[in-house]
């Protein structure tokens, strides 16, 4: 019912409680309801996670949070957050609705550096290790299937490049990593 809103205030809780209540009243099938929480919606600060039947988290540890040489520290921070969620919301399933790293399809570097295909593969594999360490993590949706155009700016090189496929639908190395993961599950 939401994607990355401000959820750390009492106002946010009161507002979204009404949204969830109305949605539940309007759904004769009683489907599970959720919203996607961004990084500021931490276990200690979020006022809305308890409204969700299952939680969706958008996290970019190793990209926006301690990217590059800080990726090992980022994974420690990621595990710390998951440990904290396990205490405040035990038994509630979590689905990662966004995680990923920008990658130029032409960029290869060893050792891996941000924007290289090798870094995207490393990033994904490290995230998988965290996901697999927690039983309550029940799903993962990489951001994004394919690169796409965005507005111009200094943070992106001609669009969002977090795709596991290029904008022309050619596979990056990460596509084969995802294929291997999906086939073993």
Catalytic residues: 4, 98
Q: For residues 164 and 171, is the Cβ–Cβ distance under 8 A?
A: yes
Residue with tokens 């996901």: 131
Strand ordering across the sheet containing 55-58: 36-37, 55-58, 94-98, 137-140
Q: How far apart are CA 89 and CA 94, in angstroms?
A: 10
Hey, what are 133's tokens?
A: 């360490």
Please give the C-alpha separations between residue 87 and each of 80, 109, 117, 149, in angstroms, as whole numbers. Answer: 11, 39, 36, 39
- Peptide bond just before 111 cis, omega within 30 deg: yes
Nearest CA among 25, 50, 24, 21 for reference residue 37: 50
Q: How far apart are CA 173 and CA 166, in angstroms?
A: 11
């Amino acid at each position: 019912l939401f994607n990355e809103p401000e959820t750390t205030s009492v106002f946010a809780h009161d507002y979204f409680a009404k949204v969830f209540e109305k949605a539940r009243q309007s759904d004769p099938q009683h489907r599970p309801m959720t919203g996607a929480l961004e990084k500021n919606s931490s276990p200690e600060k979020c006022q809305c996670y308890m409204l969700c039947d299952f939680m969706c988290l958008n996290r970019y540890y190793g990209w926006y949070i301690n990217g590059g040489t800080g990726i090992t520290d980022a994974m420690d921070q990621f595990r710390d957050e998951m440990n904290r969620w396990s205490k405040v919301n035990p038994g509630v399933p979590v689905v990662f609705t966004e995680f990923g790293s920008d990658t130029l399809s032409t960029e290869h570097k060893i050792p891996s550096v941000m924007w290289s295909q090798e870094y995207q593969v490393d990033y994904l594999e490290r995230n998988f290790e965290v996901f697999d360490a927690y039983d309550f993590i029940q799903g993962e949706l990489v951001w994004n299937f394919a690169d796409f155009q965005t507005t111009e700016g200094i943070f992106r090189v001609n669009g969002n490049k977090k795709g596991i496929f290029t904008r022309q639908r050619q596979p990056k190395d990460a596509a084969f990593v995802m294929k291997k993961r999906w086939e073993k599950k």
